[in-house]
Amino acid sequence: MNPKQSLRQAPALLVVDDDSVFRQTIAELLREAGFEVSEAANGAQALSICGERDVALCLLDVQMPGLSGLDVANRLGQTPVLFLSQVEDKVVIENAIRERAIGARTLGYLIKPVDPDKLVHTVKTAVGVARDLSDKQTWLEAIARSIEDERRAIARELHDALGQQLVALQWEARAIQGMVDPDAKEINAHAQRIVEGLQDLYQGVNKIIDRLRPEVLDQLGLRKSVEALVVEWRQRATGCQFDLSVEDDVDAVDEHISSALYRVLGECMTNIAKHAAATQVRVSLARMRLGPETGGQPQEVIQLKVTDNGRGFDAQGSPSGVGLHGMQERVGAIGGHLEIQSQPGQGTTIVATIPVRRGPPGGG
């Protein structure tokens, strides 16, 4: 196969730079190498173009008026990025990549002025890496959905088989109690312990079922489930004020997204209770179309935002704790992005943003 034909069949590249001469020179070099190339003079144009077409790789100038290259990278979601930077930007970019402060698909940078041969080689390599990342993400999403489906099937089996059997045994134990002479205290005591043991076992099974697949999602849908979870935490944490905002249309999403968001919210609440010492928590859940006007990639997403005024922590490095890593992995596995904003003494904000896949009303 002709390499140029293969490249022309690939999604377009996007070169973003406010220096028109440099931008056009870079774009022309890439076109001569066989790529299809679009151009943008600023961050807002870049976000608009990425929202309208499939972009294999975005080459981003770091220093631009308005939205900087770092701002744009943060708002491009899953679009792979290669920075075009001045020498003095090198440390800033490396720190941002290391601290995960820019888009998850940032592949590296090229220092201006760019050598033509190095440019073409680096871009070809980056496009290949981006393609591999896309394939891996597709597999991750498929695996995550398969795991969630299996959890749901196991939960259903536990409920229908073991749960029903435990209820039946409780009735049998109570029936025995009714047949025994009230004066036979030892027999009655044994029967009562059997009843109580079965009740404890039944509650334990229900907890396992809820962890495998929150039954409340099937019964109520995502919106009412989130409302119920916040009400539950209001009752637990009486010294903390909870503010909640949930839009009605959040129910019409894929059940795997509903489950992920519900679990992330539960983990956030648990972390706040354990570590934050917060007196105020704000939770919002909404579907939105992020575009240049709102500073994100123009696409429909569902976004969960949890903010507390607690003690906070240093979020500049890799997040510590199994809970935060678990939330990142859960959201990332279905194509979403988890942003953690926190500083010591200034509270914490967790934002989970997931592209919407339409599902039946009710979220399950």
How much is the pLDDT for 241?
Answer: 92
Per-residue model confidence (pLDDT) at position 285: 94
Residues 6+ apart with CB under 8 A from 96: 70, 102, 106
Each of the 364 residues of the chain gets a pLDDT tens digit; together they read 344 444 445 547 899 998 889 899 989 998 888 888 889 999 888 888 887 777 888 998 888 888 888 888 877 767 888 888 876 767 777 766 665 556 657 787 788 888 888 888 888 888 887 776 666 655 555 655 666 666 666 766 676 667 677 777 877 777 777 787 777 788 878 878 888 888 888 777 766 766 666 666 777 888 888 998 898 888 888 788 999 999 878 888 888 788 889 889 988 988 898 888 899 999 999 998 875 544 444 578 899 999 999 998 887 654 555 567 778 877 887 888 888 888 889 999 999 998 885 443 333 3
Cα 136 to chain centroid, rounded: 16
- Output the CATH code of domain 3-114: 3.40.50.2300
Record the tokens describing residue 162, joined without a space: 């073991």
Asked if omega into 361 is within 30° of 0 (cis), the reply is: no
Rounded Cα distance between 169 and 198, Å, is 8
Ordered by start, the domain boundaries in the chain are 3-114, 141-212, 216-355
Task: Pick the closest to residue 45 from 55, 35, 36 (CA basis).
Answer: 55
Look at the block and give the residue holding tokens 């049998």: 172
Amino acid at 286: A
Q: Where are the alpha helices (DSSP H) in 75-214?
A: 90-98, 116-157, 164-179, 185-212
**CATH class for the domain made up of 216-355:** alpha beta
**What pLDDT does 245 receive?**
93
| pLDDT at residue 286 in the model | 92
